[in-house]
Amino acid sequence: MAVIHELDSHMADLIAAGEVVERPSSVCKELVENAIDAGATQITVELEHGGISYLRICDNGCGMSPEDAPIAFRRHATSKIRTREDLAAIGTLGFRGEALAAICAVSHVDLFTKQAGCVEGVHVSVAGGKIIVNEPAGCPEGTTFVVRDLFYNTPARMKFLKKDFTEAGYVLSVVEHAAESHPEIMFRCIRDGKDVFHSSGGGLKHAVFGVFGKELSKNLIEMPEIERDGIKVWGYISKPHAPRANRTYQHFFVNGRFVKSKLIQAAMEEAYRNSIITGKYPYGCVCIQLPLSQVDVNVHPAKIEVKFAQEKQIFSAVYAACKNALAGDDNIPEIQAKLPDRAAAAPLEKAEQTVISIPRASKFDYSTSVSAPSSPKLSPNEAMNHASAYRIVEPSTSRKMGFLPFVDVDDRDEQAMHMQHETEESKKIDVFAPQIPQQKPTIQPEGETPPAVCDGQTEAQDIQEMFDQPSARVIGSCFETYIVAEDADGLILIDKHAAHERILFNQLREKTDIPTQMLLAPVVVDLSGEEYAAVIDGMQQIQALGFVMESFGQHSIAVREAPAYLDAADIPVTVSEMAQKLMDRRTPVPDRLDDLIHTVSCKAAMKAGSKTSMQEMQSLCDRVLSDPAVTCCPHGRPVTVRLTKYELDKMFKRVNQ
């Protein structure tokens, strides 16, 4: 028979720590909230190894007295609430008094604190929930917490932590959310000795710009403050023409607290109904202020979720604020063309050389084209002036040799006009051309006569006989989406997007002959802290798909090389969606790699509704009908539908039923 016994205080603290402290970002969140409650105007967060081995939070708040400092580490010791009525109107971020006790139970903590006007401060050191040191110390006004060796005494929790870079991304997100919720406070985040985030404390506009970055911020519109039923709503939301592929950048704040609320999310997205692409989501920073008695923040151990007393009024206020902001903006995209800087390009001998990569073509493709992202059109003379700033290389050669050889061109006018013509007319690479394996040279034994070498005409006939297999003949397209072809048995309808997507998916999965292009200008993609950490962590998998990228700024990625059949305009959304796939830790690693290939192939495939020449449709049709692996797209939709001649004859009553 089981015997009931009471747990000791240390075991109770470990259990409580499991509810409050999940990872270093949980520790950072609790201590930053305490700093905000202490009236700090400057908060600095410093971390090493993702915050696991070292995490320091320093503020210039009110500090604690030598008498209160050791009491703060006890469970349920708080200065925020005193009576039962205080629970119904919580205006501070922390209030239960569990955070410090839970943190100290699983780490080594040092506290340095000093109140304004005091000569000296106090130093308290705690390990495993027990106070080791309590002594006077010289320190600046405010409070500094140093947390070391998180989960040193609970190895079972340690094994669930991610890599240092991933954990650091979660900590950075906590700092960014705090900067948005309290834009009047100056925040600074230092990761492994490098300053990765800094907000000036100059208001919400500056904080949002620091968190969202330049590219996302330029598509934000201000949401003027409105008040309805005692509820105030304000912030910044995105324009309908610039949606995101996910909800990562939907930040909601209630009374200065970052929360995750499906109610606010639904109200915001409802305002965009019929004005945003299906499957895409708006982003922005939505701040809500309402009476403290109308919201319950004590429904989640991490205080990340809240409960509203009047959900209908909240929905109505958020919807109205977002709708008014959208109605007050023209929502017209701005197109900014960057012209070449002639002054900088004048000294040709010092001009930086831009690399254009020629993907490897198939054996019998004699019209290899230069694939490059869209750029401003230049006249032949202007192109000639810039011709010496270009060099054409083959990717495999540059990687193997370690340098980029020049291509000697005598006539610069001819080169410039050729480059301009190729850039305008040959943006796509024919990935449907039949791949003929290159035969290895054979060595003839001595004394034997080598076989006669066939002339060009014979070789051309052999190639023609090889490709002229019985196939369907394309007779047109339907709705610019379906290819219509006929053969001896009847009609064939081919979904060109699904077919092209499957072909690219198979190529990427086999990782054979993936043509790539080096971009004339790197494409910079802004990501959230979690997305950035996921991309850095999965960089090897992404590079295997034809991407070459590197870290750029706080949490941005610069893409320098991409698959040749992926348009430069599709690179940002492709990288963002790949980051989301990598963040899904519930998916097994092999399936996660397939998800990445799904994303790239879907974005790179020819789009439904786009113009396609008869030659391209015929090439795609031949490839689909000759490849038994192209039967459905990676999502499971069929690629081809056949309508036999017999079925047509039945429809027109040419045969008996």
Position with higher pLDDT, 341 vs 488: 488
pLDDT confidence of residue 459: 47
**653 within a domain of the structure (yes/no):** no
Measure the CA angle with vertex 107, ends 105 and 108; round to 5°: 110
pLDDT confidence of residue 358: 34
Is pLDDT above 60 for 176? yes
pLDDT > 70 in the chain, percent: 70
Q: Are residues 172 and 221 in the same domain?
A: no
Residues 109 and 34 sit within 8 Å (Cβ to Cβ): no
**444 within a domain of the structure (yes/no):** no
pLDDT confidence of residue 416: 44
**Which residues are 635's β-sheet partners?**
none
pLDDT confidence of residue 603: 75
Average of pLDDT values for 21-33?
Answer: 91
325: Cα separation from own chain's centroid: 26
Q: Are residues 185 and 208 in the same domain?
A: no
pLDDT confidence of residue 589: 54
Is pLDDT above 80 for 351? no
Residues 129 and 13 sit within 8 Å (Cβ to Cβ): yes
**505 within a domain of the structure (yes/no):** yes
Per-residue model confidence as pLDDT tens digits over 254-268: 999 999 999 999 999
What's the pLDDT band for 554 if we cut at 50, 70, 90?
A: confident
Q: Are residues 141 and 64 in the same domain?
A: yes
pTM tops 0.75: no
Most confident region among 53-67, 430-444, 521-535 by mean pLDDT: 53-67
What range defines the domain where residue 185 resides? 9-199
pLDDT confidence of residue 409: 36
Q: Are residues 491 and 615 in the same domain?
A: yes
For β-strands 284-289 and 231-238, DSSP reports them as antiparallel
Q: Are residues 359 and 407 in the same domain?
A: yes
Average of pLDDT values for 23-33?
Answer: 92
Which of 142-146, 174-178, 398-402, 545-549 is the least confident region?
A: 398-402
Give every CB contact of residue 214 below 8 A, 6+ residues apart in sequence.
526
Give every CB contact of residue 143 below 8 A, 6+ residues apart in sequence.
34, 35, 38, 58, 59, 61, 63, 64, 111, 112, 113
Q: Are residues 383 and 301 in the same domain?
A: no
pLDDT confidence of residue 21: 85
What's the pLDDT band for 657 if we cut at 50, 70, 90?
A: low
pLDDT confidence of residue 331: 59
419 CB-side CA count, 13 A:
32
Query: Closest by alpha carbon to 406, among 359, 355, 366?
Result: 355
Is pLDDT above 50 for 128? yes
Query: Closest by alpha carbon to 356, among 330, 382, 325, 392?
Result: 392
Burial state string for 394-415 with b = 16 or more CB within 10 A and e = fewer than 16: bbeeeeeeeeeeeeeeeeeeeb
**119 within a domain of the structure (yes/no):** yes
pLDDT confidence of residue 236: 96
**393 within a domain of the structure (yes/no):** yes
Q: Are residues 272 and 151 in the same domain?
A: no
Position with higher pLDDT, 570 vs 398: 570
Query: Closest by alpha carbon to 36, among 150, 216, 202, 179?
Result: 179
- Number of domains observed in the structure of the chain: 4
Q: Are residues 192 and 112 in the same domain?
A: yes
Per-residue model confidence as pLDDT tens digits over 221-234: 999 999 998 999 99
pLDDT confidence of residue 551: 85
380: Cα separation from own chain's centroid: 39
Q: What SS3 state is found at 606?
A: coil
Average of pLDDT values for 160-177?
Answer: 92
pLDDT confidence of residue 12: 67
Position with higher pLDDT, 196 vs 328: 196
- Dist CA 312 CA 185 (whole Å): 32
Which of 140-144, 409-413, 606-610 is the least confident region?
A: 409-413
CATH number, domain containing residue 592:
3.30.1370.100
pLDDT mean across residues, the chain: 76
**Which residues are 549's β-sheet partners?**
559
Q: Which residue, of 165, 199, 233, is where some domain finishes?
A: 199
Give every CB contact of residue 599 below 8 A, 6+ residues apart in sequence.
574, 577, 578, 581
Per-residue model confidence as pLDDT tens digits over 50-102: 999 999 999 999 999 999 899 888 877 777 666 766 666 677 776 666 788 88
Q: Are residues 114 and 161 in the same domain?
A: yes
Is pLDDT above 70 for 397? no
CATH number, domain containing residue 23:
3.30.565.10
pLDDT confidence of residue 225: 93
- Dist CA 452 CA 224 (whole Å): 83
Is pLDDT above 60 for 202? yes
Q: What SS3 state is found at 533?
A: helix
pLDDT confidence of residue 206: 93
pLDDT confidence of residue 582: 81
Position with higher pLDDT, 570 vs 343: 570
Query: Closest by alpha carbon to 101, among 172, 41, 19, 35?
Result: 19
**341 within a domain of the structure (yes/no):** no
**What is the full DSSP assignment across 200-256?**
-SS-HHHHHHHHHHHHHHTTEEEEEEEEETTEEEEEEEE-TTS-BSSSTTEEEEETT
CB atoms within 10 A of CB 83: 7
DSSP class of residue 568? G
Q: Which residue, of 159, 174, 199, is where some domain finishes?
A: 199
Residue 503 CA: distances (Å) to CA of 500, 509, 543, 564, 655: 5, 10, 19, 14, 38
The tokens for 275 are 């004005």
**568 within a domain of the structure (yes/no):** yes
- Dist CA 71 CA 476 (whole Å): 81
Residues in the chain: 657
pLDDT confidence of residue 653: 82
- Dist CA 569 CA 552 (whole Å): 19
Position with higher pLDDT, 239 vs 450: 239
Average of pLDDT values for 408-413?
Answer: 40
**359 within a domain of the structure (yes/no):** yes
Residues 337 and 330 sit within 8 Å (Cβ to Cβ): no
For β-strands 307-308 and 295-296, DSSP reports them as antiparallel
Measure the CA angle with vertex 335, ends 334 and 339; round to 5°: 140
What's the pLDDT band for 348 if we cut at 50, 70, 90?
A: very low
Q: Are residues 283 and 412 in the same domain?
A: no
Is pLDDT above 90 for 316? yes
Query: Closest by alpha carbon to 516, among 491, 545, 540, 537?
Result: 545
Q: Which residue, of 176, 199, 222, is where some domain finishes?
A: 199
pLDDT confidence of residue 383: 39
Q: Are residues 89 and 215 in the same domain?
A: no
Q: Are residues 177 and 211 in the same domain?
A: no
Please give the single-letter amino acid code of residue 132.
I
